[in-house]
Amino acid sequence: MKYFIYIIVYAVSFVTNAQDYIIESNSNNTILKTIIYPDGEEYIHIENSGLWKDNKGDYGNERCIGIIKKNKLNSNVEVRCEHINQLGEKFWTLKVRNSELHQTGGGVSTYIAGTGKYKKYIGIECPYGVNYIENMVWYTQKCKIP
C-alpha cells in the first residue's frame, strides 16, 4: 500500500509539472526610437526580433513591436509579438508590464491568436520576466496550459 501511495504522489506531481509551459527567448537586434520630454518622461517605440525555445521541444523565431512609456517612477510597456515555430505554426502574444524598474521587470503575456497546436492557447495569460542589457532582451515566461 505504501508503494501505491508513492506511485500516486509521483504521478500527480509529474502531471502537474507536465502542465507547465515555459518559453525562453532572446533578441539582440533591438531598435529603440525615443522621444524625451522636458520633464524627463520618455516615449519609446521598440522593435526587435530573435529566437525562442520552449520546454515542449519547439523552437523558432519571433518579432515584436511595441511602446514603452517611461517616467521617473515607472515604465509602462505594451509589446505585440509574432512567433513562428520550426513547423511554420504561429502564435501571437500581447506582453504588458507596469514596473518601477526600467531595465528589468515582470508582466503578463496573453495569447491573442494561433495556428495549429497554438489555437488552444488563445486567451491564456502567462506571467513573464524580462531583462534589458544594452540592445539585448532576455525573456522567460511560465504558465499552465490546459
List the domains of the chain with CATH numbers: 21-144 (2.40.160.20)
Whose CA is closest to 133, among 28, 33, 48? 28
pLDDT greater than 70 at residue 1? no
The angle subtended at Cα 76 by Cα 72 and Cα 92, nearest 5°, is: 155
pLDDT of residue 135: 74
The angle subtended at Cα 113 by Cα 111 and Cα 114, nearest 5°, is: 100
pTM of the model: 0.81
Q: Each residue of 79-135: pLDDT tens digit?
A: 999 999 999 999 999 999 987 766 788 999 999 999 999 999 999 999 999 888 877
Q: Write the CB contacts of 127 (distance below 8 Å, at least 6 apart in sequence).
A: 106, 107, 108, 109, 141, 142, 143
Q: What nine digits make up the cell of 32?
A: 529603440
